């Protein structure tokens, strides 16, 4: 019977040692997985903060661009209006001036739907011919 008891003691000792080793490996594995997860969480938090910062930066940049675009549109409309006023006055003086025709062509490319300068040139040409005796 002593022999069976010795065998039992060896099995218990071996099982206890195996359990301790298993416990240590499990604890180490658990620690490693938590460490990896914590690193991932920190990295994700850092990426989220950078994304929020970039998003805010792009929103600010977009607002600046929209404001500048509005300014450029107003300035461009003012230049277009000024050109029409000046060219209309020059057409009255010299309706066949090639510089006016070239400038009108450039403006027609930039503003394809605006025919007011062409109409003014045609009216000035007709009025000029009418003043000269009506010969076309």
CA distances from 28 to 22, 24, 39, 81 (A): 10, 6, 16, 78
Q: What is the mean predicted confidence (pLDDT) over 91-99?
A: 85
Stated pTM of the model: 0.48
Compute the distance between CA of residue 135 and CA of residue 80 in angstroms, rounded to an integer. 33
Cα 22 from Cα 40, distance rounded (Å): 27
Average pLDDT on 5-10 reads: 62
Quick one: pLDDT band at residue 135, thresholds 50, 70, 90?
Answer: very low
Write the DSSP symbol of residue 96. Answer: T
How does pLDDT run across 33-85, given as a tens digit for each residue?
A: 888 888 888 888 888 999 999 999 999 999 999 999 999 999 988 988 888 88
- Please tell me the predicted confidence (pLDDT) of residue 57: 92
């Amino acid at each position: 019977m002593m022999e069976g008891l010795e065998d039992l003691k060896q099995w218990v000792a071996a099982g206890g040692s195996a359990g301790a080793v298993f416990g240590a490996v499990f604890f180490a594995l658990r620690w490693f997985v938590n460490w990896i997860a914590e690193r991932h969480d920190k990295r994700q938090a850092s990426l989220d903060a950078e994304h929020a910062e970039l998003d805010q930066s792009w929103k600010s940049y977009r607002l600046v661009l929209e404001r500048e675009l509005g300014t450029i549109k107003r300035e461009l409309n003012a230049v277009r209006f000024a050109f029409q006023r000046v060219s209309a006055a020059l057409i009255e003086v010299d309706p066949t001036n090639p510089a006016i025709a070239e400038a009108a062509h450039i403006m027609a490319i930039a503003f394809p739907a605006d025919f007011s300068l062409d109409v003014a040139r045609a009216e000035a040409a007709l009025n000029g011919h009418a003043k000269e005796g009506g010969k076309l």
